[in-house]
Amino acid sequence: MKLTPAQITEFEEQGYLFLPNLFSPEEAALLTGELPGIFAQQREEVIREKGSEAPRSAFYVQTWNPVFELVARHPRLVEPGIQLLGSDKLYMHQFKINAKAAFDGAVWQWHQDYATWYSDDDMPTPRAMNIALFLAEANEFNGPLMFIPKSHREGRLAAGHDVTTTSYPLWTTDNETIARLVDEGGIVAPKGPPGSVLLFHGNLVHASGSNLTPWSRWILYLSLNRCDNAIRRFKRPTWIANQDFTPIEMLPDDCLGEYERRRRTAAE
C-alpha cells in the first residue's frame, strides 16, 4: 500500500497520519481473537500494570504467535514505513501490543519514543517511526493516544528517566516543555474502530491517560528502523530492543485472509 504525495506531506508537516479502517473487520477480528491467549501467558515479554495483574504490554509477539508473525510483515504496515523513512531496508526495532485494560489501564507519560531509543539503545538518528494498528476501538473515554502536532520539528528534547510512575521505565518530557508545545500546537487524539492505523514520527511527543471505562483499548505497535540506523547499545533484551537487523521481507496483502482460510479448512 503506497501513500499519496498529499499523505506524505501531511505526515511530514504534522508528524502523524491517521488511516481509518485500513484493515477489514474480518482481519481485525482475527487479530483480536488472539489477544486473550497472548495476555494470559506468564512470560517475561508480558508486562503487568504496577500493583495489578492487568496486562500493560506484550513484546516481541511476532516471534511467538503465528498470526502476529504475519502482521509484522504486512505490506499495509511496512510499505508506508519504507516510503516515509526513505529506505527499502527496514528492520523491526520493537514489536509490542499495548493493552490499556478496562478499568485498570494506567497512563503513558508525555514522551518521544526516540528519546528512549537514543538514551537506552544508542540509535544514531531519528530515522525510525511507529506504525500503530488499533485492535479495539479508540474513543474519547478509554485512554486514546494524544499527540502534540508538529512537535517532531523540535528534534530530540531533553528527557528525564521515569522509573517509578508506571511498571515500564520511560524517558519523559517535563511539564514546562509540554505546556509550551501544547500552547503552540494543541493536542489531538485520533479515534476510530479496530483496523485503523496511525503512523507517527519517532520525535512526535505523545501520551495517553488512564482507562476508567469498561472498554479495553488495545494497540499494536511496529517500531520500524532503517537498517543503516541500527542501534549500537545492547543493554536492553532483544525482545524489547531488537538486536536482529535483518531487513523485513513483506508478505502478500491477503496473508491474513489466507491464514484464516487455511485454519478453517484444517478445522473441518
In 3D space, the residue among 131, 142, 149 whose CA is nearest the CA of residue 23 turns out to be 131
> Quick one: fold of 5-267?
Jelly Rolls (2.60.120)
Residue 113, helix vs strand vs coil: helix
Q: Are 1 and 80 in contact (CB under 8 A)?
A: yes
Domain ranges of the chain: 5-267
Helices (H), 122-254: 175-185
pLDDT at residue number 28: 97
Q: Are 143 and 214 in contact (CB under 8 A)?
A: no
Q: Are 44 and 85 in contact (CB under 8 A)?
A: no
pLDDT at residue number 167: 64
Sign of CA dihedral 133, 137, 142, 144: positive
Residue 10, helix vs strand vs coil: helix
pLDDT at residue number 168: 76
pLDDT in tens, the chain (268 residues): 899 999 999 999 999 999 999 999 999 999 999 999 999 999 999 999 888 889 999 999 999 999 999 999 999 999 999 999 999 999 999 999 999 889 988 888 999 999 999 999 999 999 999 999 999 999 999 999 999 999 999 999 998 888 777 767 888 999 999 999 999 999 999 999 999 999 999 999 999 999 999 999 999 999 999 999 999 999 999 999 999 999 999 999 999 999 999 998 888 7
